[in-house]
Structure 1
Amino acid sequence: MDFRCLLAGVLCLPVAVLTGCTAASQDAPPPQVAVPPEADASQPQTDAPPSDASPPGIPDAATAKSWLAELTVAPEGSMDGYDREKFPHWSNGPDNCNTREAVLKRDGENVQTGSDCYPTSGTWNSPYDGGSWTKPSDVDIDHVVPLAAAWRSGAAQWTQQQREAFANDLDSPQLIAVTDNINQEKGDQTPDQWMPSKTGYHCTYASMWVASKHKYKLTITDSEKGALDTALGTC
């Protein structure tokens, strides 16, 4: 291929690419630096990680450890008489939105709702497994301390009103939006039986569990306490 050169052969360009080359002037301006185009607002931005769901009232590690030490250790109670309907859940609040809708709105990003309070769009990032969802149907509201686990640790003796307050508690870290099948996998298991797959979330999960059991004066088993102590040790 025929080349014509600039500056005594220092820079050579193919004629097929550039024709009419002449000796470069010493006064030639420096090459311009290309400026990248502005980010397209329609495309997802990845410079910041998405925010995970974060319910209110999560204690710091020191407080959680202190509260754990105050919990009563006792054998797990019976499931006799348990019925999920004994914990009326997803009650309507003063704004006529039910508890599930309130948590979806609280824990999601850019959530838009219809006139009936149900989300029509948004993004939900599940801290248990790192899943990210744009359909509310892919998200469950997890009772951090499951209703059945609460029943076995003291709630069997509560009034219906107390159980309803527990099942719809928006002021404590007892309700959180997570991937639906992860919530179903967890079921009514306690921390000695199940923990989130994201090990980096174990500290937070244990802190939420302890906060809920402490608030409602629920008991824990020996193995449950051991698992919580281990998880809080990662904080």
Structure 2
Amino acid sequence: MRDAAEQLKRAVRVERVGWRLAGICLAVAAAGALTGGCQSEGADSSDSAPPSGSPSEGGDPSEGADGSSSPPSPEGLPAPDDARELLDGLTVAEQRSMTGYSRDRFPHWTSEDGCTVRQRVLLRDGEDVVTDDDCQPTSGSWYSAYDGETYTDAGDVDIDHIVPLANAWRSGADEWTDERREAFANDLEGPQLLAVGDRVNQSKGDQSPDQWLPPVEAYGCDYARAWIAVKAAYELNVTEPEQRELGALLDTCGGA
């Protein structure tokens, strides 16, 4: 198990910057909205190096060159203009019933090569992560973009579904097969899974962006782009208030 975990960590480090969003790119292209391509940080990006806020390096990962708050962006997101095109293409509808919903209808944290999806995200999003023979992290650090905190205990870190399972159910996933719900809940290809502090994740619950946003306001643009990308890739609906809030968040992106 340790060998598998070490191989995974090496692969993550090599491919961290090039984290693929194949499903999102396909969704954008299908919508005819790929005007600027999927924005993916390459080797010449400031994201090509690990966040500078791990305890071993010191510094504040949320501090930009000018001292302003600037949380690190996830690797690979639709450009703001493309995200707006995707948002315009989403179906606007009232939320559907929660009848029949259960988290068990979205089987998650499946295992592959000796590591669960949760463990794989912890390895992907963490710094200097060391695991035991069962692929469980025993040390490392995790920067939580939602609250701007760095955590050194994996037990204090949740893996957030950017679009919560219950929100997805109310947005159209109630009609999916359990197999599609399982793919959604374990999606490592798109920006659906993110390691964040457990307390801030619990405060989010299953709320949409018009009801809850990350306390770090500077993260709003990236959060909106990720939310829109996931909903577009899985053809999920948005409500009118949700659509308006996402549009307002995109207005904050500037030249992102």
Aligned twin of 2:251: 233
The counterpart of 1:106, out of the listed 124, 131, 136, is 124
Output the CA distance in 1 between the equivalents of 2:207 and 2:58: 35
Output the CA distance in 2 between the equivalents of 1:151 and 1:189: 12
Aligned twin of 1:49: 61
Any idea what the Cα deviations from partners look like across 1:38-64, whole Å, max 9, x if unmatched?
xxxxx8443573796765542221111
The counterpart of 1:83, out of the listed 102, 127, 130, is 102
Q: TM-score, normalised by structure 2?
A: 0.72
Q: TM-score, normalised by structure 1?
A: 0.78
Give the drift of 1:75: 0.7
**Partner-residue secondary structure (3-state), 1:141:** strand
CA RMSD of aligned residues (A): 1.7
Give the drift of 1:159: 0.2
The counterpart of 2:80, out of the listed 61, 65, 68, is 61
The counterpart of 2:195, out of the listed 162, 177, 181, is 177
Output the CA distance in 1 between the equivalents of 2:92 and 2:175: 17
1:125 matched to 2:143? The reply is yes
Describe the shift of the 1:168–1:194 C-alpha distance in structure 2 as closer, same or farther (beyond 3 A): same
The sequence identity of aligned pairs, in percent, is: 53
Give the drift of 1:112: 1.1
The counterpart of 2:182, out of the listed 149, 161, 164, is 164
Aligned twin of 2:10: none
Q: Which has the higher helix share?
A: 2
Describe the shift of the 1:53–1:150 C-alpha distance in structure 2 as closer, same or farther (beyond 3 A): farther
Aligned twin of 2:27: none
Output the CA distance in 2 between the equivalents of 1:115 and 1:44: 24
Output the CA distance in 1 between the equivalents of 2:78 and 2:90: 15
Describe the shift of the 1:117–1:54 C-alpha distance in structure 2 as closer, same or farther (beyond 3 A): farther
Output the CA distance in 2 between the equivalents of 1:75 and 1:49: 38
Output the CA distance in 1 between the equivalents of 2:116 and 2:59: 34
**Partner-residue secondary structure (3-state), 2:77:** coil
Output the CA distance in 2 between the equivalents of 1:64 and 1:234: 13
The counterpart of 1:196, out of the listed 204, 214, 223, is 214
Unpaired segments of 5 or more residues in structure 1? 1-42
Output the CA distance in 1 between the equivalents of 2:167 and 2:147: 22
Output the CA distance in 1 between the equivalents of 2:125 and 2:108: 18
Aligned twin of 1:205: 223
- 1:86, 1:160 within 8 Å by CA — same for their partners in 2? yes
Unpaired segments of 5 or more residues in structure 2? 1-54, 64-70
Output the CA distance in 2 between the equivalents of 1:74 and 1:49: 38
- 2:62, 2:148 within 8 Å by CA — same for their partners in 1? no
The counterpart of 1:72, out of the listed 79, 91, 106, is 91
